[in-house]
Structure 1
Amino acid sequence: MHRKMTITLDEAVYEGLYRMVGRRKMSQFIEDLLRPHVLDTSLDRGYQAMAADKAREAEAMEWCNALAGDVADAAR
């Protein structure tokens, strides 16, 4: 969900923003700049990087399967 917000900018800053990104893209540009400063997305990026590492994922799956086997053996 998006929320509407009114901000005040120096005229020169507004003109530069208008020239660089255009009128209809200002909100998205500002949101993209602010997002990493107000939301903790570093953990998300870390998990994405780990998931992309196929060798690491295979090793983790092997470890999980071995642990599940240990738990099954202990239950007997």
Structure 2
Amino acid sequence: MHKRMTITLDEAVYEGLYSRVGKRRMSQFIEDLLRPHVMDTALDDSYRAMAADTQREAEVMEWCNALAGDMADAAR
């Protein structure tokens, strides 16, 4: 559900927003900018998305195992 809100902007800021984003996209643009600053789940969502990337996870594990092997060789 969306809530309607009235905000006040400097005229130059409004004109810049209007010219770059367009009248019908301003609300979504502002919401996208604010969301990471006001929602607690942004970092959780990012970690969840990274963990779901199985190819990336496999590459990370391969890299970690190789690094551990390098460290073991260096300790000898």
Query: Relative to structure 1, is the Cα distance of residues 42 and 55 closer, same or farther in structure 2, using a 3 angstrom cutoff?
Result: closer
Deviation sequence 1:44-64 (CA, Å, 0-9, x none): 11011111125859xxxxxxx
Flag as ranges the 4+ runs of structure 1 deviating above 3 A. 54-57
Alignment size in residue pairs: 57
TM-score by length of 1: 0.68
Amino acid aligned to 2:53: A
Deviation sequence 1:12-63 (CA, Å, 0-9, x none): 0000000000000000000000011111211111011111125859xxxxxx
How large is the Cα RMSD of the aligned pairs?
A: 1.7
Which of the two has higher C-alpha Rg?
1
- Counterparts of 1:52 and 1:34 in 2: how far apart (Å)? 26
